[in-house]
Structure 1
Amino acid sequence: MDKKTQIELEAAAFRTLREHLMEKRTDVQNIDMMNLAGFCRNCLSRWYQEAANKQGIEMTKDEAREIFYGMTMDEWRSNYQTEVTNEKKAEFDVAFAKNVSGGT
């Protein structure tokens, strides 16, 4: 497979993942994703922002999140975010430290 085709397929897979999380599985909470998989929608939007910035495209965290979520974070929280238990918060702290803060 040539490099151009590989990039196109990877981009298509990413768009499908984004659509799946944004439109089809709004019931899946970010905290559950982070606790189980070590990443969430915010991570995906941050990676998008970082890729844009590397290409010389200025993009803020909020702009990247709006692109990824299809709405502002306040709208997303209002529409889809549920209450979190203390147990899930504790699991999140471990997952965040391990996967986002660079811990092991």
Structure 2
Amino acid sequence: MEKEIEIQAAVFRRLLRHLDNRKDVQNIELMNLAGFCRNCFAKWTVAEAEKLGTHIDIEDAREQVYGMPYQEWKEKYQLPATEEQLAIFNKLQTKK
């Protein structure tokens, strides 16, 4: 089990590196296509830590995911969502 957890952690770190190398892929695009984004990883980190009796601040979790403070990442890399992206996002939200 310990080796499995190590492998899963390594895969997760690799996924975060991959997303870090693809800053051109916007969170709304990830949400529209896959139903999750970088922010979801941060929220899931907080939730899983709570299940294990540990507190992780959401901003600390976001910094782990983004590799920098979230606000800084947004200012550097986040583009305004297009009308089309927002329409898709809103349509998907109503299906939940």
Q: Are 1:19 and 2:17 matched, yes or no?
A: yes
Shift of 1:94: 3.2
Q: Residues 9-48 of structure 1: matches in 2 within 5 Å?
A: 9-22=7-20, 24-48=21-45
Q: Is there any run of 5+ residues in structure 1 with no aligned partner, and where? A: none
Output the aligned Cα RMSD.
1.5
Counterpart AA for 2:64: I
Q: Which runs of 5+ in 2 are unaligned?
A: none
Q: Distance in 1 between matches of 2:61 and 2:94?
A: 22
- Measured in 2, the distance between the counterparts of 1:59 and 1:71 equals 16
Aligned residue pair count: 96
C-alpha distance in structure 1 between counterparts of 2:39 and 2:49, whole Å? 15
Name the SS of the counterpart of 1:84 in structure 2: coil
TM-score by length of 2: 0.89
CA deviation vs aligned residue, 1:11-42 (integer Å, no higher than 9, x gap): 110010011112x1111100000101111001
1:8 is displaced (CA, Å) by 1.2
The DSSP-based 3-state class of the residue aligned with 2:54 is: coil
2:83 matches 1:86:
yes
Counterpart residue type for residue 49 of structure 2: A
Instruction: Indicate the SS of the match to 1:95.
Output: helix
Percent identity of equivalent pairs: 46
Q: Deviations over 1:32-89 (max 9, x none)?
A: 0010111100111111111112122212222211121111221011110112111101
